[in-house]
Every structure is written in structure tokens, then in C-alpha cells.
Amino acid sequence: MKNVLHTIQQNKRLQAIVVGLYIVVTFFSLYLAQKSVVAFLLLLSSLLLLYFTTFSNRVKWLIGGVVMVVLLPLAASQGEAYQSYMEVATLVGIYIAMALGLNIVVGMAGLLDLGFVAFFALGAYTYGIFATGQANNFMPFGHYPLSGESFWVFIFIGCFVAALFGILLGVPVLRVKGDYLAIVTLGFGEIIRIIFNNLDKPVNITNGAMGLASVQPPRLFGIDFMYPNQFYYIVLVILITVIFAVRRLEFSKIGRAWKAVRENEIAAQAMGIHLVKTKLMAFAVGASFSGMMGVVFAAKQTFVDPTSFTLLESITILVMVILGGMGSVPGVILGAALVTILNLQVLTELTNWLNQLSLNGVINVPDALSPAKMQRFIFGVILILFALYRPQGLLPAKNPVFDEKDLKDADKLINAGVQKEATQHVHLDS
Amino acid sequence: MINEVLHTLPQVLIDGLTLGAVYAIVALGYTMVYGILELINFAHGEIFMTGAFVGTAILLTFAGFGWLASMPALVALVLVLVVTSVVTGLLGMGIERVAYRPLRNAPKLITLITAIGVSFLLQDIVRFIAELKNGNYILTGPSLFSGQIGIKASSISSIFNDASVKSSFFIVLIVAVIMMVTLDFFVNKTKWGMAMRAVAQDRETAALMSVNVNKVIALTFFIGSALGGATGVLFAIQYGTIDPYIGFILGLKAFTAAVLGGIGNIRGAMFGGILIGIMEMFAAANLPVISHGVLGAEYKDVFAFAILIIVLIFKPEGLFGKVSIEKV
């Protein structure tokens, strides 16, 4: 087995055949067997297979793009389950973006944030309030609800509002040490939820526990975006932007500063890294992804209420990061996809199946044991097992490796250039 | 407005004292574990909750056999308290052994994450068992002490309204005081208590002085968890209805109390707990009055968290804590 894997790893043509065959087979199995959730998941996991190939990044992105943009929607579109598949894919995208945001805070900067869903809520409410008649209650000017065209602007506004609150929370909080931070952010998450839950008096801003209903759908060139297959493309575009941004940030100066702060604050400070600024940046960037997706979430659900933003959600996102691997972008994407699919598809399917079995009298599973209720149990087990036995996650973060010899050669070249210049200067001087 | 606040003051003080006693003992568990391991034991709130469930389950079993009617309520209470505290104490020790000990030298972040995992696991296991046995995870126990006693506060001064007290209030308060005094004696006056303080101060040096560090840490977890579990029983007796999710928020507030009193400081935690309890009850009763109805009583949780954040920012060492300087 090991040998086979090794030869495949050596041979690019073989890889191309395997990946191509896999995509074609899963594509047609989903195309023909519309009800098969397994086929849908297998087609999605072709992206994971693609990740393990040794193609250049550009080729990987290209194939991945074709699968995501064309093949997946096309294969799923042949039956009644189309919208539900797209719904799952959209939610997976939303959660991946949030998990990537939390990954910056927890994975790269090493700040445990247990109230992350608060930023998601901020984004969702920002759009929810202005895209329903709710804003009429307190805004002195303007006419609400705003039309669906404003959605595109609100993506940026939601991003900005969340980042602003990230900084506002960060300024006082970052003076406390690591483990206190977890508690304070947890408290912050609860505070935001309680405030949204009760901000219907004296001025009705959030409509309290009733929530905001019938949020305006986004509109572009006169087309209303109402269905999951349309939101799928919005989420895809934002997600690719987010992934691109995260990859660039990770290897930029600020990304290296985050990692330095994570490893040792005092040493990082001694190296001239401004602690507060670096941490605030992590908070703001992480929060902004979440806020952006909050806007999309509000538009997709067309309904916002405080129950979507509980502590369980924050922990769910944390589980995604831990499962995938703290600090590792591909890992977190995998983790987010796995947890979301587990939550939305596997658990509900299992529950239905067990119910069916109980109805037929094959086995009798008590209602208390139904898998849909076991979320906390499963998350708890994942957190403990991964912390104990695999703290680096499924796909561990890789630091760029430099070849010592190459560096020395490059160094020599530069030095030679400098010497040459120096001699030229000497000539000029004389 | 001040008159209105004063009217309700006796009742607020009594309710606050009850809640504060609960916070104080739960805070002890946090503060002891933090003092010795520098770890926020998120699972402590859940141990409290488990204690409430174990206690209620025992009481319900007694009632089922008809023993509850035939024995004095005090005997039943002592029995339940002892059994529950042993069960939760062992649970706490088990959690430490399985989830925290292997990670003692790991980065703090990882240990915190395990603690959250343990907390979620306990919530769901208790939910599962309660739902399986009872059909519903919200449980109402038999009331042991249900007498009402009126306190004629108006006879002291006419600005006060009369307050009413459930007789379980006295039980809660007395048991809480006994537990706190015993713990204080244990930590400050006995050999094991000295070992505990030594380990909290410096684990390596304590080990060199032939203190068995693992044993001391296990003992700390046992005592903290036993106290937490016993408090759970008191909570169930005082408030009647319990569900598997009471532990998390209550634990958070108890942690606030521990921070307020200076984390690692046992007497500080007691004081902080009482203070937080009274302040929370005060806020619940008077926020609508003071703010003219703008802020409802629902904001009492926000109030507690706001205290936590303010304390952490302006006085992170707490009211009675020592300032710690981080050395390289």
C-alpha cells in the first residue's frame, strides 16, 4: 500500500488519471442517483483528493474551480434534492469563512476567543435591521427596507462593523492574559446575544426575541437572489476572496508577527513587535470575515433572531478549527466542511434512519439517544480527543521550509553583487 | 426612586445572600484549581450541575421508596450531601486524571480546550441520563424545606417592605458557612493544606520537599468538586427546578466572583461570591426602576459580565489578590 502511494506520488500522469477518474465517476453517480447523499459528499471530497496531489497550485485551483463552479451544481441540479444540496454547500461555505476568521485569532495569534459568533450576529443584524422595516423605528431619515441592491454594499458594511467591534472589544480585553481572555470573550458573546434579545425597548431596534422576518433578498441587475443555488455563487466568490486573503496574510509581515506572538509574547516584544497592535489586527481581521458572512446568512435565511447565535455556535466554530488543525488553512477548511456536513447531513440522516428502524420495530432507540441531540457530546469528544492525542489537527500547519544550500547560494550572489558595486564605487571615487 | 429601592432592600439582601452563598462555594472550586494549576477548570460549573442532578436523583429515589416521609428532613439532607459530594469529588478526580494530567506541560490553550470539551461532554451525558430515566431533562425535585417565614423588616424602619424567606434559605446559608469554615481550617491549619499551599506556590520546589504533587493535585480536585457538588444539592433544594445547562452560566458568574476576590485566594473567593450574588439580585430588582424601564431585569447577566470585564481591566489581581509579575 505504501509503495503504491509512493509511486502515485512520484507520477503526475497517474495522479491526473486517478483524480480525473474519481471526479468523473462521482459526477455521474450524483448525476444519475440524485437522492444519494453519499455521492454528493464523494464529489465534494474530490477537492480533498486534489489537495493531496502534487500539481502546481495554479492547476489545483483551476480544477477545484471547475468542480465547484460547474460540475457540482450541474450534477446536483438533476433532481428535487437540488436546493437542499446547494443549501448544504452554501452553509459549508459560510462556516468555512467563519472558521478561517477564528483560525486567525486562535490558530495564528493564539488568542482563545469563545464569543466569536457575536461578530457573525453583528453582521447578520446590520443587514437584517436595514433590509426590513425595522430601521424605520429609529432612523430619522431614509426609507426602509432598503432595496436588495444595497446587499452588496452591506457585505462591506457588515465586514467593517464587525471589525470595529473586534477592535472595541480588543482594546480593553487584550491587556488581560491568555486564559482570562477566553472568559471575557465568552462573556462578550453572551452580552451581545442578551442585548439583541432585549433591544426592543425603549426603542425597538432588533425586535427582541421575535427576530426580524422577511429580510430583503439581494438583487443584481433586476434579478432577485432567493434560492440556495444562487446564494451558492455569492458565498463561493466571497469564500475564494477570503481564502486568498488568508493565504496572503499568513505569509506577510503581520502573519509572521501573529505566529511570533503565539509562540512567545515576551520574545516577540523583544523583537520589536507591537503586541497590542498585532493582537488587535488579528481580532479585527478575524471578526471581519465573520461579519461578512453574517450579512450573507441574514439574506439567505431571510430571518434573523438571537437563537442562531448561542454559545454552542461559537464552540462549533472552535471545534472546526481544532479538528482541522490550528493555524493551518487547508486543515481548517477541511474541519469546517466536516463539522458542518456532520451537523446538517450525517446527524439528521442517522436520526431519520433510526426513527425508521424504531417505527418498523427492528430496534428501539430511545428518543434521548437520537443523534441530532448528541451534538454537544460529539463536540466534547472531538475537543478532548484531539487536544489529548492530536493537538495539531487533521492537516497540521506547515511552515515554509527553506533549503539551506539555496539560501547560501542566493546570499553569495547578492554578496558578489554588493562587492561588484563597491569596487565600482571605488573606481568612481578615484 | 430611592424609596422604591429601599422598599425592596430586605428581600434583595436575603435573595442575594442565598445566591451569593452558592456562588461563593462554586468560586472556591475555581480558585483552588486555578491557584494550584493556573487552569480555568471550565468543567467545574458542570460538576456543580451534576451534583444537583445526583442529589435530586437520590431524593427522588428516597421518595419513591417512601423513606423520605419517614426520616427527618435534616437526616435526609446530610445523607444526600455526603453521598453527592463523594460522587462529584470522585468525578472531579477522574476528570483531572483523564483530561488534565496528560496535558500538564502542554500549552495553556490546549488544556483550556480540553476543559471546554469536558464541560460539553458532562452536559450531554447528564442530559442523556435524565432524559432517558425521566423523559424530560428538566427535573423538579421533592421539596424538603418549604416553610415560609416572614421577616418584619418594616418594624425596624417604615421604609422597608416585609421580606419573606423560604426556610431552606437558612439551610443553604448554614451548610455553606460550615463548608467554608471547614475548608479554611483545612487549608490553613492541616498538613495536607500546607502541602496544597506549597504546590500552589511552586510545584517543583514542593516536589523536592517530598510533597507528592500528583496526590495533592488530585486531592485539590476532589475537595473542590465535592464542594461544588454539595452546592449543587443546595441549589436544587433552594430553587427546585434544574436542567443540564444551569452549570455553565452559573460557573461563569462564580468564576467572576473568584476573579473579583483575587484568584487563588480562598477567602477572597467567598467574599467575591457573596458580593456578586447581592449585586446581581440588586440589579435584577432595581435596574428597571433606576433606568425608568429602559433596562429590564434581563440585563442582570450583562451586569455580572460587565463586572468581570471591569475588574479584569482595572484590577486584574482582584480585591484581595497579590500582584503577580511575569518573569521571563
Decide: A242 and A289 in contact? Cβ < 8 Å: yes
State the average pLDDT for chain A. 80
Residue B327 lies in a domain: no
Q: How near does any CA of chain A get to the CA of B43, in Å?
A: 11
- Residue B292: count other Cβ atoms within 10 Å of its Cβ: 9
- With 80 as the cut, is the pLDDT of residue A318 above it? yes
Q: With contacts defined as CB-CB under 8 Å, which chain A residues touch B103? A: 387-388
Q: Residue B324: which pLDDT band, with cuts at 50, 70 and 90?
A: low
Contacts 24+ apart (CB under 8 A), A411-419: none
For residues A311 and A190, is the Cβ–Cβ distance under 8 A?
yes
CA distance B175 to chain A (A): 29
> Which pLDDT score is estimated for B323?
65
- As a whole number of angstroms, the distance between CA A349 and CA A278 comes to 44
Q: Which cell is A328 given? A: 493551518
**pLDDT of B67 higher than 80:** no
- CB–CB of B252 and A197 under 8 A? no
* Cβ–Cβ gap A383/B293 under 8 Å: no
Of A15-24, A225-234, A358-367, B171-180, the one with minimum mean pLDDT is: A358-367
Residue A154's CB is within 10 A of a number of other CB atoms, namely 25
Does residue B90 register a pLDDT over 90?
yes
- Confidence class of residue B86 from pLDDT cuts 50, 70 and 90? very high
Residue A213's DSSP bridge partners are: A303
Is the pLDDT score of A430 beyond 50?
Answer: no
| Per-residue model confidence as pLDDT tens digits over B234-243 | 888 888 788 8
Determine the pLDDT at residue B210: 87
Instruction: Tell me how far apart the alpha carbons of residues B83 and B55 are, in angstroms, rounded to a whole number.
Output: 8
Strand pairing of B148-151 and B139-140?
A: unpaired
- pLDDT at B313 exceeding the cut of 70: yes
Facing B116 at nearest CB: one of A178, A315, A391: A315
Q: Residue B254's closest CA among B10, B36, B40, B11?
A: B40
The values of phi and psi at residue A356, to 5°, are: -60, -45
Is B325 within a domain? no
Backbone dihedral region of B68: left (phi > 0), alpha (psi from -120 to 50 degrees) or beta? alpha
**What's the confidence (pLDDT) of residue A89?**
85
Indicate the average pLDDT of chain B: 82
H or E segment and range at residue B151? strand B148-151
Chain A residue closest in CA terms to B125: A377
With respect to residue B91, please indicate whether it lies within any of the assigned structural domains: yes
How large is the average pLDDT for residues A40-68?
77
Burial of residue B73 (number of CB atoms within 10 Å: 0-12, 13-18, 19+): middle
Contact A176 B313 (CB under 8 A): yes
Query: Do B266 and B184 contact (CB within 8 A), yes or no?
Result: yes
pLDDT in tens, B142-177: 776 666 676 666 666 666 666 677 777 888 888 888
Go through chain B and tell me how many residues it has.
328
> Residue A424's pLDDT is what?
58
pLDDT over 70 (residue B135) = yes
State the cell numbers at B52: 444537583
Average pLDDT over residues A316-330: 86
CB nearest A175 (choices: B112, B305, B313) = B313
Partner residue facing B121 (CB), from A182, A367, A377 = A377
Selecting from A197, A369, A387 the residue whose C-beta is nearest the C-beta of B114 gives A387
d(CA B5, CA B289): 8
**Measured between CA atoms, how close is B121 to chain A, in angstroms?**
5
Q: What pLDDT is stored for residue B92 in this prediction?
A: 92
pLDDT above 70 coverage of chain B, percent: 89
User: Distance between CA atoms of A381 and B125, rounded to whole angstroms?
Assistant: 11
Contacts made by residues A415-418, CB under 8 angstroms, sequence distance 24+: none
CB contact under 8 A, B121 and A376: yes
One-character DSSP codes across B207-225 = HHTT--HHHHHHHHHHHHH
In total, chain A counts a number of residues equal to 430
Q: Is B128 touching A (CB cutoff 8 A)? A: yes
CA distances from B245 to B41, B126, B273 (A): 16, 10, 20
**Contact with chain A for residue B64, Cβ under 8 A:** no
* pLDDT at residue A330 greater than cutoff 90: no
Comparing C-alpha atoms, which of B223, B226, B227, B167 is closest to residue B22? B227
- Across the interface, whether the CB atoms of A318 and B312 are under 8 A apart is answered no
Residue of A nearest to B43 (CA): A380
Contact: B309, A380; criterion CB under 8 Å:
no
Our measurement of the distance from residue A298's CA atom to the centroid of its chain's CA atoms, rounded to an integer in Å, reads 16
Contact status of B235 with chain A (Cβ, < 8 Å): no
Asked whether the predicted pLDDT for residue A322 surpasses 50, the reply is yes
pLDDT tens-place string over residues A389-410: 888 888 887 776 777 777 788 7
Pick from A223-227, A258-262, B42-46, B196-200: least confident = A223-227
The packing angle between helices B168-189 and B191-201, to 10°, is 80
A419: pLDDT confidence band, cut at 50, 70 and 90?
Answer: low
Are the C-beta atoms of residues A168 and A160 closer than 8 Å to each other? no
Which pLDDT value is given to residue A420? 63
- Please classify residue A45 by burial: count the beta carbons closer than 10 Å to its beta carbon, then call 0-12 exposed, 13-18 middle and 19+ buried: middle
Domain of residue B48: give its range: 2-314
CATH code for position B298: 1.10.3470
User: Quick check: A218 pLDDT over 60?
Assistant: yes
Backbone angles phi, psi at A32, to 5 degrees: -90, -35
Q: How many CB atoms lie within 10 A of CB B322?
A: 10
Taking an 8 Å cut-off on Cβ atoms, the answer to whether B124 and A374 are in contact is yes
Position A296 pLDDT exceeds 90: no
pLDDT above 50: residue A270: yes
- Domain parsing of chain A, residue ranges: 1-80, 85-399, 404-430
For residue A224, report the phi and psi dihedrals to the nearest 5 degrees: -85, 135
Cβ neighbours of B112 in A, within 8 Å:
112, 179, 182
Least confident of A271-280, A377-386, A399-408, B196-205: A399-408
Give the model's pLDDT for residue B157. Answer: 67
Q: What is the pLDDT of residue A42?
A: 78
Cβ–Cβ < 8 Å for A158, A287? no
Neighbours of A353 (CB within 10 A): 12
Output A153 or A11, whichever has higher pLDDT: A153
- Residue A212: left if φ>0, alpha if ψ -120 to 50, beta else—which one? beta
Indicate whether A429 pLDDT > 50.
no
| Mean pLDDT value of segment B289-298 | 69
Q: Provide the shortest C-alpha distance from residue B309 to chain A (in Å).
A: 6
ipTM of the assembly?
A: 0.84
Is any Cβ of chain A less than 8 angstroms from the Cβ of B245?
A: no
Is the CB of A112 less than 8 angstroms away from the CB of B109? yes
Q: What is the mean pLDDT of residues B125-154?
A: 75
- Measured between CA atoms, the residue of chain A closest to residue B303 is A191
DSSP state of A307: G
- Specify which of A56-65, A342-351, B46-55, B239-248 reaches the highest per-range mean pLDDT: B46-55
Q: What pLDDT, on a 0 to 100 scale, did the predictor assign at position B328?
A: 56
Angle at B262 between CA B259 and CA B268, to 5 degrees: 105
Distance CA B26, CA B12 (A): 21
Asked whether residue B319 is assigned to any structural domain, the reply reads no
Looking at residue B327, its pLDDT comes to: 56
Across B60-79, average pLDDT: 79
Peptide bond just before B10 cis, omega within 30 deg: no
Chain B residues in contact with A381 by the CB 8 A cut-off are: 117, 121
Could you give the percent of chain A with pLDDT greater than 70?
Answer: 90
Residue A304 has φ and ψ, to the nearest 5°, of -125, 125
| DSSP conformation letters of A344-391 | IIIHHHHHHHHHHHHHHTS----GGG-GGG-HHHHHHHHHHHHHHH-T
Give the distance from residue A387's alpha carbon to the nearest chain B alpha carbon, in angstroms.
6
Query: Coil, strand, or helix at residue A177?
Result: coil
Count of C-beta atoms within a 10 Å radius of residue A358: 15
Mean pLDDT of B173-190: 86
* Averaged pLDDT, A66-73: 76
List CB contacts (< 8 A) between A335 and chain B: none
Q: Confidence band (pLDDT; 50, 70, 90) for B293? A: low
At residue B291, φ and ψ (nearest 5 deg) are -95, 15
> Where residue A427 falls among pLDDT bands split at 50, 70, 90?
low
The total domain count for chain B is: 1
All residues of chain A having their beta carbon less than 8 Å from the beta carbon of residue B328 are 266
Name the residue in chain B with its Cα closest to that of A383: B117
Instruction: Name the residue among B99, B123, B301 with its Cβ closest to that of A190.
Output: B301
Mean pLDDT of A326-337: 87
DSSP B153-188: GGGT-TTSPPEEEETHHHHHHHHHHHHHHHHHHHHH
pLDDT digits (tens, 9 = 90+) for A101-126: 999 988 888 888 888 888 999 888 88
Answer yes or no: is B146 within a domain: yes
Rounded to a whole number of angstroms, the distance between the first and last alpha carbons of chain B is: 53
Does domain A85-399 bear CATH number 2.60.40?
no
State whether residue B123 sits within 8 Å of chain A by CB.
yes
The three grid cell numbers given for residue B116, joined into one nine-digit string: 471546554
Q: Which residues pair with B163 in a beta bridge?
A: B151
